[in-house]
Amino acid sequence: MTVQKPRAVCLLSGGLDSATALYVALKEGYEALALTIDYGQIHGRELKSARRIASHLAIEHRVISASLPWGGSALLDRSIPIPHGRSVAEMSQEIPVTYVPARNTIFLSLAASYAEARAAEAIFIGANALDYSGYPDCRPEFFKLFEATIQKGTRQGAEGRKLEIKTPLIDLKKSEIVRLAIGLGVPLEWTWSCYQGDQFPCGECDSCLLREKGFAEAGVRDPLTSHLTSARSAGGTVGS
Amino acid sequence: MTVQKPRAVCLLSGGLDSATALYVALKEGYEALALTIDYGQIHGRELKSARRIASHLAIEHRVISASLPWGGSALLDRSIPIPHGRSVAEMSQEIPVTYVPARNTIFLSLAASYAEARAAEAIFIGANALDYSGYPDCRPEFFKLFEATIQKGTRQGAEGRKLEIKTPLIDLKKSEIVRLAIGLGVPLEWTWSCYQGDQFPCGECDSCLLREKGFAEAGVRDPLTSHLTSARSAGGTVGS
C-alpha cells in the first residue's frame, strides 16, 4: 500500500532561511509545494535562486506576482536608501526601513489559498525571531494569530481540517540555521540574501551582514561568497 | 485650520456591497482610497464597474493583480460549473463552489499593506454575514481575528496605532443594503454582481438571485437590469 505523504506549501524567497525551512519540510516527510512571490522587490535576483533550488529538488513550484505599488519600504522604493554597515545592535533598535508593510501577512494569505486548493496540511515559513532585523511580522505571536485567523476564515478550517503554520527556524540563531542547512544539504551557494540585488552580494546591507555573522559564528565559509569571488577572479558569469 | 480627514482603504470589487461600503466610509468622513484586486476572476467585468465608480468619485484607486493559478473555485476555473437557479435555502446548506480559497484573507492583507503605506486608520469591506452564500471568510469572528493579527504583525500595530477592520454591512439583509445604497446615492446601475461576467447579468447565479431578492424585498427596481434591458431593446452598447 502506498501511503500518501502529507503536503506542505513552503514559502521560498530564495534566501538562506526559506531554503532551509523547505529542506526541513522535506526532512519531516512532507510533499513540498514551493511558493515564491514577486512583490516588486528591488532584489528580484532572489527569484532566480528560488527557481534554481525548486528545480534542483524537482518539486511543484509556483512563482506568482502580487506587486505592491504603494511602496513604503526600501525594498520597494529606490528613493529610500538601504541601510548599510550597521551593527546587529543598531539593526535591532527599531523597525528598519526594509520592513515591507504586511509582507508576511500577504505571503501567508497566498500560501493559505494555495494550501487549501491543493489540500495541504501545513505552511512552512523561514521566519526567525532572534537575528530578525526587528520585523514585527516575524514574531511567534503573529504566526499563532494568523493560524487562528485562517482556521476561522477558510473552508478547510470550517470543515474541521487544520492548516498549521510551521516556523522551524523561529528560535534559532543565524549560526544554528547555517549548521542546520549544511546538515540538510541545502545548496547554500545558490541561496541569495542581499537586499541590493546586484550580481554580487553588497556585503554591507543588514541581510548580508547577518548572513556573514551567521557563517562566521558557525565557523564555516559561505559558499555563495567564495563561489562568487572565484567566479569574479576568473572573469566568468555568475549564478547562471 | 484645515483638519486632515482620517484615511480608509476601501476594498472595491465593483459589486453592490463593496460600493455601498465605500459610500458608508465617505459618509463617515473618511478620505477613501479604493483598492480593487484582479485575482483572475472569470467575472472580470466587475473591474470595469469598480473603475467607473472610483472615477466618478474622483478618489485614489489602485487596481492590482494577484492571480491565483491554483484554482479551487468556480470563479477561477471554467471547468467547475457555477451553480444556478438555487433557492437561498439551498445556497446556505454548504460552502458553495464559488468560494475562493482564502480570498478575503488575501484581500485584507493587501489592504493592510496599502493602509500602512498610506497611514490609513481603517479598512472597509462590504462583507455580509446574513445573505452571505455560506462563505467562511464573511463571518464576524474572522474579521476580529484578522484585525488582531495585523495589530501584531505590522509596524503600525507595533507602534501602537490601530488599523480597524470595518464591516458596515455585516448584519444587514440584502434589502437593507439596497435601501442604504439608495439613501447614500450609490450609482447602482454601475455596480456588477453577476458571477458569469457576460455583457448582461445571467439572472441565475447565486449572486444575481440574492441581488434580485434584495431589490424585490426592498420594493425597488434594480436600475442595473432596467438599464441593461432598455439598452438591449434599443440594440445599444451597455456599460461603456
The whole-model pTM stands at 0.93
Q: Is the pLDDT of residue B29 over 60?
A: yes
Residue B240 lies in a domain: no
- Partnered with residue A34 across adjacent β-strands are A10, A61
A39 CB near a chain B CB, below 8 Å?
Answer: no
Domain enclosing residue A57, as ranges: 7-233
For B141, the grid coordinates are: 469572528
Q: Which residue from B minimizes the CA distance to A72?
A: B117
Residue A134 lies in a domain: yes
Closest CA relative to residue B124, chosen from B33, B237, B217: B33
Test the A interface: residue of B94, B104, B149, B156 with most A CBs within 10 Å:
B149
Half-sphere exposure of A12 (CA within 13 A, CB side): 34
**Per-residue confidence (pLDDT) for residue A12, from 0 to 100:** 98
Residue A104 lies in a domain: yes
Q: Which residue from B minimizes the CA distance to A117?
A: B72
Torsion of Cα atoms, B195 then B196 then B202 then B206, to 10°: -30
User: A147-200: per-residue pLDDT in tens?
Assistant: 999 999 999 999 999 999 999 999 999 999 999 999 999 999 999 999 987 788
Q: Is the pLDDT of residue B216 over 70?
A: yes
Cross-chain CB nearest to A152 (options B67, B118, B145): B145
Residue with cell 482610497: B33
User: B131-183: per-residue pLDDT in tens?
Assistant: 656 789 999 999 999 999 999 999 999 999 999 999 999 999 999 999 999 99
**Under an 8 A CB cutoff, do A149 and B105 touch?**
yes
User: A33-82: per-residue pLDDT in tens?
Assistant: 999 999 999 888 899 999 999 999 999 999 999 999 999 999 999 999 99
Q: What is the mean pLDDT of residues B36-41?
A: 94
Structure confidence at residue B199 as a pLDDT band (50, 70, 90): confident
**Under an 8 A CB cutoff, do A102 and B118 touch?**
no
Residue B191 lies in a domain: yes
**Under an 8 A CB cutoff, do B149 and A145 touch?**
yes
Residue A17 lies in a domain: yes
A92 CB near a chain B CB, below 8 Å?
Answer: no
B137 CB near a chain A CB, below 8 Å?
Answer: yes
Residue A1 lies in a domain: no
Could you please report the per-residue DSSP string of A63-124?
EEE---TT--STTT-TTSPPPBS--HHHHTSS--TTPPTTHHHHHHHHHHHHHHHTT-SEEE
Half-sphere exposure of A42 (CA within 13 A, CB side): 19
User: A125-151: per-residue pLDDT in tens?
Assistant: 999 987 656 789 999 999 999 999 999
Total domains in chain A come to 1
| Cβ atoms of residues A165 and B162 within 8 Å | no
Residues of A in contact with B99 (CB under 8 A): 155
Q: What is the CATH number of the domain that holds A173?
A: 3.40.50.620
What is d(CA B142, CA B211) in angstroms, rounded to the nearest whole number?
24
Give contacts of B 48-87 with A, CB under 8 A.
Answer: 62, 64-73
Structure confidence at residue A106 as a pLDDT band (50, 70, 90): very high
User: B68-112: per-residue pLDDT in tens?
Assistant: 999 999 999 999 999 989 988 888 778 899 999 999 999 999 999
**Per-residue confidence (pLDDT) for residue B238, from 0 to 100:** 44
**Under an 8 A CB cutoff, do B113 and A101 touch?**
yes
For A198, the grid coordinates are: 546586484
Q: Is the pLDDT of residue B27 over 90?
A: yes
Q: What is the DSSP letter of A154?
A: S
Structure confidence at residue A93 as a pLDDT band (50, 70, 90): confident
Residue B212 lies in a domain: yes
Q: What is the mean pLDDT of residues A195-223?
A: 91
**Under an 8 A CB cutoff, do A64 and B67 touch?**
yes
Structure confidence at residue B204 as a pLDDT band (50, 70, 90): very high
